Amino acid sequence: MSLIQPFKSEIDFATGDLSPQRATLRRRLSDMKLMYADRNEAARILSEEGDRLIYEVQGVELPEEEGQIPHCTTRILPGRVGDEYHMTKGHYHARREQGEVYFGLSGRGYLLLQTDSGQTSEIEMVAGSAAYVPPYWAHRTVNIGAEDFVFFSVWEARAGHDYGTIERDGFRMLVLLRDGQPTVVDNPKYV
Ligand code: PAN
Ligand code: ZN
């Protein structure tokens, strides 16, 4: 186990920016163009409007050892691909028995969750919402507002990230604009 020196980050709740600056991961439409329900619209945006930024993650890098507690901010930009709101890729933890806590900093979003055995849950998040992602639940976040949706996450270093299952099967629910409202619907293409 590494002996890490104590440290802190200052968080800008509106942007998720950390100070001092930390590692930043940016996900653009090209990174997830096959994840949106309307793939034709994703392809049209890419060719006519360019490769828009969907979300960025800023976090501290810690060794993947028992007891280390990585934490990060995620900022999802507002917008839709067709009727579907901007979202993260979503994942199960590679070690399914590891949970996580999400804390809303600004904007409005949905935290979508599902299990291998077919259970689903959706949690609306605003600034101040502390949501628990229990072990065994895959999780994806969606920006349903007109502003950035920003939240903070804390998990255990050995959890790991399994993106492949969601890339292959999709998520059981979609969040779509229906009658002027963000609406959670079953994903007809879920495998
Ligand atoms: C979060 C997510 C972050 C980005 O920190 O990793 O919001 O979403 P994706 O990882 O699905 O791209 C988390 O759940 N960590 O375990
Ligand atoms: Zn996670």
Domain holding 91: CATH number? 2.60.120.10
* Residue-wise pLDDT tens digits, 130-178: 999 999 999 999 999 999 999 999 999 999 999 999 999 999 999 999 9
**Residue 5, in any domain of the structure:** no
**Residue 84, in any domain of the structure:** yes
Ligand positioned closest to the Cα atom of 134:
2
- Work out which ligand 1 atom sits closest to the CA atom of 163: 11
**Residue 160, in any domain of the structure:** yes
Please tell me the predicted confidence (pLDDT) of residue 191. 81
User: Which residue, chain included where needed, has tokens 């055995």?
Assistant: 117
Please tell me the predicted confidence (pLDDT) of residue 82. 98
Please tell me the predicted confidence (pLDDT) of residue 127. 98
Distance (Å) from CA 116 to ligand 1 centroid:
18
Please tell me the predicted confidence (pLDDT) of residue 126. 98
Residue nearest atom 16 in ligand 1 by C-alpha distance: 155
**Residue 24, in any domain of the structure:** yes
**Residue 2, in any domain of the structure:** no
What residue numbers bound the domain in which 101 lies?
Answer: 10-61+69-186
Ligand positioned closest to the Cα atom of 111:
1
Please tell me the predicted confidence (pLDDT) of residue 2. 85
Distance (Å) from CA 100 to ligand 1 centroid:
10
What amino acid is encoded at 154 in this protein? V
SS (H, E, C) 75-144: EECCCEECCEECECCCEEECCCCCCEEEEEEECCEEEEEECCCCCEEEEEECCCCEEEECCCCEEEEEEC
With beta carbons less than 8 A apart as the criterion, state whether 149 and 143 touch: yes
Given a cut of 70, the residues of the chain with pLDDT beneath it are none
Residues in contact with ligand 1 (CB, 6 Å cut-off): 57, 72, 74, 88-91, 100, 139, 141, 153, 155, 161
**Residue 34, in any domain of the structure:** yes
Instruction: Note the pTM of the prediction, 2 decimals.
Output: 0.98
With beta carbons less than 8 A apart as the criterion, state whether 112 and 184 touch: yes
Please tell me the predicted confidence (pLDDT) of residue 1. 79
Q: Which string of DSSP letters, residue by residue, matches 25-78?
A: EEEEGGGSTTTSS-HHHHHHHHHHT---EEEEEEE----S-TT---EEEEEEPS
Distance (Å) from CA 40 to ligand 1 centroid:
26
Bridge partners for 143 per DSSP:
109
What token pair was written down for 125?
A: 């998040």
Domain tally, the chain = 1
Distance (Å) from CA 166 to ligand 1 centroid:
13
**Under 8 Å CB-to-CB from 134, ≥6 apart: which residues?**
99
Please tell me the predicted confidence (pLDDT) of residue 128. 98
**Residue 1, in any domain of the structure:** no
Ligand positioned closest to the Cα atom of 137:
2
Please tell me the predicted confidence (pLDDT) of residue 20. 98
